Structure 1
Amino acid sequence: MKIDLENSADVFSFFEENYSLPAIADNLDTLSPKELRCACCLMGVALVALSQKKTIWERLKTMGLGSKE
């Protein structure tokens, strides 16, 4: 599942389709240690993916094409 998340174009859609975030939040007390580790791992991968994504505007600015001059 981690690899599928890493290869996903949209992290939010991946979770919506494969891993119900409300279900995790509502059942934290009943998840096994293995399930909690899995959920934490997926959240970590998602956060890294989101932090590395740049908007088109940010990419243009980095390339020097986004200036308003």
Structure 2
Amino acid sequence: MQTFRIHADVQVEICKANNRAQWVPFKTTKINTFDEPISRTRSTVVFRSGRWLLRVRPHHVEIFNGLRWVRLK
């Protein structure tokens, strides 16, 4: 299983998992770690945290490759 993380002070969009039509801008306040993305396109990566969905640009996401953290492209 892979591990992904997003640093603090990154501009993202969030919404409730049961209402995907209303995305709200949000700035992260801590390092967030996730297991797997729900969806991934060229422009966005979506993660789930409880009942919240978090949409972020791929260049703000890092993946752990077993030795170090590498930024997604």
TM-score when scaled to structure 2? 0.25
Rg comparison, structure with higher value:
1
More helix by share: 1
Which is strand-richer, 1 or 2?
A: 2
**TM-score (norm. length: structure 1):** 0.26
